[in-house]
Amino acid sequence: MRRPFIAGNWKLQKTIGEALELVEALKKQVAGVDGVDIVVAPVFTALTKVAEALDGSNISLAAQNCYTEKSGAYTGEVSPPFLKDAGCSYAIVGHSERRQIFGETSAFVNAKVKALLDEGLQAIFCIGETLQERESDQMYDVLSAQVKEGLTGLDAADMQNVVIAYEPVWAIGTGKTASNEQAGEAHAFIRGLVRGLFDEETAEAVRILYGGSVKPGNVDGLMAQPDVDGALVGGASLQADDFARIVKFERA
């Protein structure tokens, strides 16, 4: 059985003070929850303070991005050793906003995944097709290329530290969630890709999160899909009540 994984991606929101308010509320609301990996991803500047606030709780810390080199003359970048130093266990990589707005390629995302694993951190590796790609029947080719290129050079043991997030771009921040069936289909396809690249055991063990307008009202149906193992939540992770309800999804 795969352990459910619910992560909140706060994006460029929540100052340090606001972030601390949110985690204090969240800690209370999810205090008794076990059997679910709970993760929050604040902005870089709030990481150390949030790490202190999360100490001893059942919530782990993720960064929203990382660089590929460890240190040096890379003005403006933050790398895995520094994220580890700040208290992170995970970093999100390959988010569609990074791919689209900042032009990140699959090769760059692949280097980020490797840099994280190299440091003993886990990668939340995002993939997903645009609406145009879905409507022109390119969805499976796009997902296939993103998975293959993003996981190039990894072996089955590395995959124990990778969580995949399927986030159809058209569902992010739009209020348009994929239907349970659409999510289930894409997840089954992605698990099949992992089976082909690695092996059956790795495919069965890897957690595949759905992301894109996950809310308290739709999480139960999405989580009931056999290949949906969790959620990467944007908007609804900014409210403690909503995020806690998503963490406490109802098991089918």
In angstroms, give the least distance from the CB of 155 to ligand PGA: 27
| Residue 169, C-beta contacts closer than 8 angstroms, at least 6 positions apart | 96, 100, 128, 129, 130, 131, 212
Q: Does 150 bind ligand PGA (CB under 6 A)?
A: no
Q: How many CA atoms lie within 13 A of 124 on its CB side?
A: 34
**C-alpha to C-alpha distance for 205 and 197, rounded to whole angstroms:** 14
Q: Around Cβ 8, how many Cβ atoms within 10 Å? A: 30
Look up 95 and say whether it is catalytic: yes
Task: Report the chain's C-alpha Rg in angstroms.
Answer: 17
Of 95, 97, 119, 187, the catalytic one is 95
Of 104, 119, 167, 187, the catalytic one is 167
- Give the CB-nearest residue to ligand PGA: 234
In angstroms, give the least distance from the CB of 97 to ligand PGA: 7
Q: Does 213 bind ligand PGA (CB under 6 A)?
A: yes
In angstroms, give the least distance from the CB of 1 to ligand PGA: 25
In angstroms, give the least distance from the CB of 84 to ligand PGA: 22
Nearer to ligand PGA, 120 or 173 (CB): 173
Say how many residues touch ligand PGA, by CB under 6 A. Answer: 13
Q: Does 233 bind ligand PGA (CB under 6 A)?
A: yes
Subset of residues 26 to 55 that bind ligand PGA, contact rule: CB under 6 A: none
In angstroms, give the least distance from the CB of 153 to ligand PGA: 25
The residue assigned the tokens 């590796």 is 125
Look up 187 and say whether it is catalytic: no
Q: Does 234 bind ligand PGA (CB under 6 A)?
A: yes
Asked if residue 43 lies in contact with residue 16, where contact means CB atoms within 8 angstroms, the answer is: no
Q: How many CA atoms lie within 13 A of 145 on its CB side?
A: 9
Q: Does 235 bind ligand PGA (CB under 6 A)?
A: yes
Asked if residue 194 lies in contact with residue 203, where contact means CB atoms within 8 angstroms, the answer is: yes
Among 31, 70, 120, 173, binds ligand PGA (CB under 6 A): 173
Q: Tell me the H-state helices in the chain.
A: 16-30, 47-54, 80-85, 96-101, 106-118, 131-135, 139-150, 180-197, 200-205, 219-223, 240-247
Q: Does 164 bind ligand PGA (CB under 6 A)?
A: no
What residues are annotated to the active site? 95, 167
Q: Which residues bind ligand PGA (CB under 6 A)?
A: 9, 167, 172-173, 211-214, 232-236
